[in-house]
Structure 1
Amino acid sequence: MDITERVRKLHEIMCQNKVDVYIVPTADFHQSEYVGEYFKIREFLTGFTGSAGTAVFTADEAYLWTDGRYFIQAAKELEGTPVRLMKMGEPGVPDIEHFLNDSLPERGVIAFDGRCVSLGDGKLYEQIAAKKQGSVFCERDLAADIWEDRPALSEEPAWELALQYAGEDRGSKLERIRGFMREVGADCHILTTLDDICWTLNIRGNDIEFFPLVLSYAVIGMDRMDLYADASKFSDELRQKLEGDGVVFHPYNDIYEDVKKLDEGATVLIDPARLNYALWKNIPGKMGKVEMRNPEILFKAVKNPTEIDNIRKAQLKDSVAHVKFMKWVKENYDKEVITELSASRKLDELRAQQGNFIRPSFEPIVSFGEHGAIVHYTSSPETDVRLEGGSFLLTDTGAGFYEGSTDITRTYALGDVTDKMKEHFTLTAISNLQLASAKFLHGATGMTLDMLARKPFWDRNLNFNHGTGHGVGYLLNIHEPPTGFRWQFRAGEIQPFEDGMVVTDEPGIYLEGEYGIRLENELLTRKGLRNEYGQFMYFETITFVPMDLDAILPGMMTEEERRLLNNYNSAVYEKVSPFLDEEERAWLENYTRAV
């Protein structure tokens, strides 16, 4: 059954159920960024494999909204299907809200699986339907009958993240959460976000693609935490430890009926952006509600001293692997057959040699030549190409070590590249280094600081169509709120940088049909001098991989920009060289030389 047939069958089911618009987000029941195979219903219906996008089906049409990271990829994957690409943020392209306002007929019905839609989105759809004297229908997954061979829910085992890595026990974390609950007047706290639950309990698993998380819900009270998860995933030992800390196990799906029984005289703390609509609908209407961001989000974003020590170790391990990879690919691309996929495997082999490697921390992007212009490209046997001279190889990959998660992007010049390519590479390096060197007063946000990265591009009437950086979780989500670098205003994303936050720095430039360049390091937020003007902050770069001097034009850089590059590459040599053999050290010395 191809995409055309799947869309046709969905339209039939919509007609049978008197549904005018059906919405399918990229989500599981927990608003996860990556989802397990069971939840890939949007991909099944549209053929688009990217990790972000929303499909909307009207009575006789099909649409897919996605952001700038995926425009090129989505256009290719939707070609030949009845699904129309809607490029978010582009001129003339309405957002989903305006599209629904215009497309929903009078007394129309908007349908969606309420478990896969956030509370905020669900309320928005309610409001849109109400304007047309219509309604929402959220009790059924209409596409379930079409996906006959749908994979089962994950049954992978859960495991405990030891205190030597977590740095804080679950009892302490629960007490901090309960302290916050007292401050805001809440008696209980419903959690559906997997990273928040796993961080709280110091557990990890394998239920989500790439992210080591456990499918679960939780209700935290003042004297117990009800955990809704498949208990068979937990060893007897781990289950006893959790129960000893006041955790009570329940079957995974029982949460929907159990919340109906919550005390109507109590007050519940919920995060509207992270609670699914179906669960919210089941909370007793008379219950008091405190609606605000989950406190766990900021708690886990500020890394504790143990986590910071471990993260530095993980970054150094991955830096060593990248240096070895850079040498290997530059010396061998024209001597043996190396492709995008084989290069990706080689990088993970080198990571595994560093010890305590679990798995990639997100879907690897290893793209050569024109594929590099596809921001979130994923190589496959159908698209895999051989590396050749005269272009760039871009690798945006990450590792999950017990010491933490990494996210590193490098672009390598293979053979001779043009001056235009070198200009764009040098521009990207300048952008990366300027942001990393920022000194700022406490209270500054990513909206404030993103200008440092954008200015070199904007001065030349250029731009890159993605955020400049994001927070990084510790063996959790690789894209971790609430911090990041982004120049556009987005409600709920304005968070001052705090000491201990880890954030990426990843500017780039992309020329469709030619090449892409991105350079990404991780930065650790640190406190600097405090004086009469306030608390100054700065970033400590914790990624140590050379910026390829084969693609740098020193004459294009100011003296200060060359100093930043030379200081960075000098630090790379100092940190990484002790882990290399004599030949590798000599090679690295050349690629970190002063320019």
Structure 2
Amino acid sequence: MNINERISALRKAMADKNIDAYMIPSADFHQSEYVGDYFKSREFISGFNGSAGTVIVTKDFAGLWTDGRYFIQAENQLKGSEVELMKMGVEGFPTTTEYLLENLAEGSVLGFDGRVICANEGNELTEVLAEKNIKIEYQYDLVDSIWEGRPSLSDAKAFMLGIEYTGESFSSKLQRTREKMAEKGATCHVMTSLDDIAWTFNMRGGDIAHSPVVLSYAVITTDKVVLFIDEAKLSDELKAEFAKENVEILPYNDIYEYVKGICECEKVLVDGTKLNYAVFNNIKAEKIVDYNPALFFKACKNETELACTRNAHIKDGVAITKFMYWLKNNVAKGGITELSAQAKIAELRAENKDFFDTSFGTIAAYKEHAAMMHYSSTPETDVELKPEHLFLLDSGGQYLDGTTDITRTFVLGELSDELKLHFTSVVRGMIGLSMAKFLYGCHGYNLDILARGVMWKMGIDYQCGTGHGIGHVLNVHEAPNGFRWKLVPERFDSAVLEEGMITTNEPGIYIEGSHGIRIENEIVCRKAEKNFYGQFMNFEVITFAPIDLDGINPELMTEEEKNYLNWYHGQVFEKISPFLTAEEAEWLKEYTRAI
């Protein structure tokens, strides 16, 4: 079936259940950002394969809501279908809730699979739509009824991440969790977010591409731990570790019945942004508190995690540097395409024994393709790189000792004055945030201007945040820290910046039909001096790979900015050159020279 035929089949299934509108988000049962193939219902029904978006289908309308990262991609992928693009955050386009309230008649029925809608959103919809007596029906996965050949749930094996990488045992993390429960007066904590469970249990797996997590739920009480998982996934090492705390193992889907047995007098901790609506409606506790201890625990990396992550970045920096050397020396010979370049960086990362996956789908974008912030090259869009213009590579690796995310934009030939201005401006923005020094208590939105301000002075903006938190051998996007220019509560990525938090620093300029430029490093929040004024904080950069000097006009930079770039490139050469061949090291010396 094509997209329009799938929508017609869905409408028939809706009619059979007396449902007037059906909502299909991008999520799995755990509200994960990236999902396994089984959960790609929104992609199946719309053809749009970006990581974020929601489809709503009614009897006479089908719309896709997505954000500014994906507008260009969505417009291209929706062509030929009846699905309309609804641009989130753009004036004139309603939110999904506003659309439903305005367009559904009194007494209508909104349907969705309650396992893929988070509790907070489900409760908000219930409350808002009650104004028009609109009923919520959350028991049906209607996409499943029309999806022939739907992939199966992943059966990938789980493995234990040792204390030499985590710096803290499962037992210690369990104790800290129970201490937080006691502070909140709770006797039970229902965990549903996969990265929080993976972090707490020191367990990693392969159920989602790029994110080494395991499909599971957990319930922690004052004296008991229950893990809901396919037991066949667990290694003997994990079982032995869990036995120390008498962890009970139950089948994955048993969570729905199990939570019905939570005592009505209990106070339960949940993460309302990750708890799905179906589980929520089965909990009959006296009070449900929206608080997730692991969210903040895992965001503040301990010294072992930081040391391991620094090591991972050296390995990653070597791969990126070797890639840049290869690209610069071979692009004029012809034959390099976006996809072959993507394959090359994967090959170089895989040469390291600790590498086991990419941390997200690589963005390899030439010329105007780079204007699409989350472009993904395909055989249909793949183009050959020429010795001219710019090539953007946003990629990352999952290593046993850390998760990486780095973007470099490479100069392939002579650049116009405008391209050099834009390239230099992006580098200046990245440097401005890197050099930040601030009092403890600042949020990411307090500091975003240090990066974005360079572009704003030019009358240019980028329609995304400046940076996001990074997990430790976990999700490449991790709350609650991040940089963006205004507070967006539902994103929950603007928490107070704490020591040990790792955040990306990735300003950019994107000109549709022409070019995209992004330079990205990861930075760690650290304590500086403490004095009469309070505790000062700063950032330690942990990403080391050359920034292409061929794109920089030093005359546009301040002395402070040039000094920082020269210091940074000195660090790159010192840390990376020992792992290169003599020819590569000599080349790197030129590309890390002082300006």
- With structure 1 as the length reference, what TM-score do the two structures score? 0.98
Give unmatched runs, 5+ long, in structure 2.
none
Q: Distance in 1 between matches of 2:542 and 2:235?
A: 36
Query: Are 1:133 and 2:133 counterparts?
Result: yes
Corresponding residue of 2:232: 232
Report the Cα offset of residue 494 of structure 1: 3.4
Report the Cα offset of residue 130 of structure 1: 0.8
Deviations 1:455-502 (A, max 9, x none): 111111111111000000011111000000011212244311111110
Corresponding residue of 1:474: 472
Aligned partner letter, 1:477: N
Q: Distance in 2 between matches of 1:241 and 1:420?
A: 58
Q: Which range is displaced more, 436-445 or 291-300? A: 291-300
Asked whether the equivalents of residues 190 and 219 of structure 1 are also in contact (C-alpha less than 8 Å), the reply is yes
Report the Cα offset of residue 575 of structure 1: 1.6
Deviations 1:54-91 (A, max 9, x none): 01112211000001110110000001101000111112
Corresponding residue of 1:448: 446
Corresponding residue of 1:463: 461
Q: Distance in 1 between matches of 2:531 and 2:579?
A: 40
Corresponding residue of 2:34: 34
Report the Cα offset of residue 354 of structure 1: 2.9
- CA-based RMSD of the aligned residues comes to 1.0
Corresponding residue of 1:418: 416
Q: Distance in 2 between matches of 1:108 and 1:199?
A: 42
Aligned partner letter, 2:484: R
Q: Distance in 2 between matches of 1:528 and 1:558?
A: 24
Aligned partner letter, 2:173: K
Residue 18 and residue 391 in structure 1: after superposition, are their counterparts in 2 closer, same or farther (change >3 A)? same
Corresponding residue of 2:248: 248
Classify the secondary structure of the residue corresponding to 2:348.
Answer: helix
Query: Are 1:405 and 2:420 counterparts?
Result: no
Report the Cα offset of residue 529 of structure 1: 0.3
Asked whether the equivalents of residues 364 and 393 of structure 2 are also in contact (C-alpha less than 8 Å), the reply is yes
Deviations 1:352-395 (A, max 9, x none): 22331111011111111111111101111111111112211101
Residue correspondence of structure 1 range 121-520 to structure 2 within 5 A: 121-284=121-284, 287-491=285-489, 492-520=492-520
Aligned partner letter, 1:198: A
Report the Cα offset of residue 290 of structure 1: 4.0
Q: Distance in 1 between matches of 2:544 and 2:143?
A: 47
Q: Distance in 1 between matches of 2:134 and 2:502?
A: 45
Aligned partner letter, 1:158: A
Asked whether the equivalents of residues 110 and 125 of structure 1 are also in contact (C-alpha less than 8 Å), the reply is no
Report the Cα offset of residue 288 of structure 1: 2.5
Q: Distance in 1 between matches of 2:277 and 2:270?
A: 12
Q: Distance in 1 between matches of 2:426 and 2:10?
A: 45
Q: Distance in 2 between matches of 1:367 and 1:69?
A: 14
Q: Distance in 1 between matches of 2:331 and 2:289?
A: 54
Report the Cα offset of residue 99 of structure 1: 1.1
Deviations 1:163-188 (A, max 9, x none): 11111000000000000000000001
Classify the secondary structure of the residue corresponding to 1:116.
Answer: coil
Report the Cα offset of residue 278 of structure 1: 0.5
Classify the secondary structure of the residue corresponding to 2:448.
Answer: helix
Q: Distance in 2 between matches of 1:311 and 1:241?
A: 24
Classify the secondary structure of the residue corresponding to 1:540.
Answer: strand
Report the Cα offset of residue 265 of structure 1: 1.9
Aligned partner letter, 2:433: L
Q: Distance in 2 between matches of 1:268 and 1:440?
A: 37
Q: Distance in 2 between matches of 1:512 and 1:114?
A: 38
Corresponding residue of 1:109: 109
Q: Distance in 1 between matches of 2:575 and 2:507?
A: 24
Classify the secondary structure of the residue corresponding to 2:461.
Answer: coil
Classify the secondary structure of the residue corresponding to 1:568.
Answer: helix
Report the Cα offset of residue 232 of structure 1: 0.7
Q: Distance in 1 between matches of 2:243 and 2:262?
A: 21
Identity of aligned residues (%): 50
Deviations 1:256-280 (A, max 9, x none): 0111111112211112112111000
Corresponding residue of 1:22: 22
Q: Distance in 1 between matches of 2:558 and 2:434?
A: 16
Aligned partner letter, 1:127: E
Report the Cα offset of residue 439 of structure 1: 0.3
Asked whether the equivalents of residues 104 and 129 of structure 1 are also in contact (C-alpha less than 8 Å), the reply is no
Q: Distance in 1 between matches of 2:532 and 2:183?
A: 31
Give unmatched runs, 5+ long, in structure 1.
none
Aligned partner letter, 2:355: F
Classify the secondary structure of the residue corresponding to 1:145.
Answer: helix
Q: Distance in 2 between matches of 1:9 and 1:102?
A: 25
Classify the secondary structure of the residue corresponding to 1:114.
Answer: coil
Report the Cα offset of residue 293 of structure 1: 3.0
Aligned partner letter, 2:436: A
Aligned partner letter, 1:480: E
Aligned partner letter, 1:36: G
Classify the secondary structure of the residue corresponding to 1:60.
Answer: coil
Aligned partner letter, 1:424: H
Q: Distance in 2 between matches of 1:360 and 1:140?
A: 34
Asked whether the equivalents of residues 269 and 291 of structure 2 are also in contact (C-alpha less than 8 Å), the reply is no
Q: Which range is displaced more, 229-238 or 472-481? A: 229-238
Report the Cα offset of residue 97 of structure 1: 1.7
Asked whether the equivalents of residues 445 and 485 of structure 2 are also in contact (C-alpha less than 8 Å), the reply is yes
Report the Cα offset of residue 540 of structure 1: 0.5
Asked whether the equivalents of residues 46 and 78 of structure 1 are also in contact (C-alpha less than 8 Å), the reply is yes
Q: Distance in 2 between matches of 1:237 and 1:47?
A: 41
Asked whether the equivalents of residues 56 and 62 of structure 2 are also in contact (C-alpha less than 8 Å), the reply is yes
Q: Distance in 2 between matches of 1:493 and 1:507?
A: 16
Q: Distance in 1 between matches of 2:199 and 2:237?
A: 19
Classify the secondary structure of the residue corresponding to 1:64.
Answer: strand
Classify the secondary structure of the residue corresponding to 2:333.
Answer: coil
Asked whether the equivalents of residues 331 and 385 of structure 2 are also in contact (C-alpha less than 8 Å), the reply is yes
Corresponding residue of 1:532: 532
Corresponding residue of 1:74: 74
Q: Distance in 2 between matches of 1:147 and 1:125?
A: 26
Q: Distance in 2 between matches of 1:246 and 1:160?
A: 17
Asked whether the equivalents of residues 154 and 207 of structure 2 are also in contact (C-alpha less than 8 Å), the reply is yes
Corresponding residue of 1:555: 555
Q: Distance in 1 between matches of 2:236 and 2:308?
A: 28
